[in-house]
Structure 1
């Protein structure tokens, strides 16, 4: 049980590292785009596979997010990761950042996607 908690804590810290790395000018543009997508997905309250679906619901939390983090960390220069890792440790001690604008944009984006899916489904079935 302790291994799972330690793994989850490390995963959370790595998400903060990606969050901070995204803002660094030394990170290539393609890495910034991928990193932003991984962080947005990790912080998003809406999952690709809803959690209420047995077994598959937690698939994204256990497989998709860690793989995305691993790929994003490989794209970012080591010195940036090292600096951001120290900052992330401090952030975890002091509490996570609250950015209501970004949170609102994520919810708006997912709402637009869901509306588009509903409209397409309506067109297909009517």
Structure 2
């Protein structure tokens, strides 16, 4: 069972990397690019919708939201383009680091928190 879990995690990582590459690939529809950015940003974000310290529910969002987002984004990308992206992701040595993407994700979470606070206070 541990081997199956490791295999699933490896495929998930490769899919996330392929989605990251999709954002700048010709032939990928704009909606798919936007969803790819959102899914990879959420997956790599240190901030979750439900904090991981909450038993069971804390990991449920990671186990449901990320795979469902990946599945939906993959369905939006034409199959030949996805096959090429997947092959490129499997041969990549490491995912790219982007400070701009990290800043964008943190900014989105901060804006959401400020908006929620403003709505609750008013």
TM-score over 0.5 for the pair: yes
Corresponding residue number in structure 2 for 1:25: 26
Corresponding residue number in structure 1 for 2:60: 59
- What TM-score results when the alignment is normalised by the length of structure 2? 0.91
Q: How does 1:31-70 map to 2 (within 5 A)?
A: 31-70=32-71
Gaps of 5+ in 2: none
Residues 31-72 of structure 1 deviation map (CA, whole Å, 9 limit, x = unaligned): 222222111111111111111111011011111111111111
Q: Return structure 1 stretches of 4+ with deviation > 6 angstroms.
A: none
Matched length: 121
Corresponding residue number in structure 2 for 1:109: 108
Following superposition, the deviation at residue 29 of structure 1 comes to 1.4
Name the CA distance, whole Å, in 1 between partners of 2:97 and 2:38. 18
Considering only aligned residues, what root-mean-square deviation do their CA atoms show, in Å?
A: 1.2
Following superposition, the deviation at residue 28 of structure 1 comes to 1.1
- What TM-score results when the alignment is normalised by the length of structure 1? 0.89
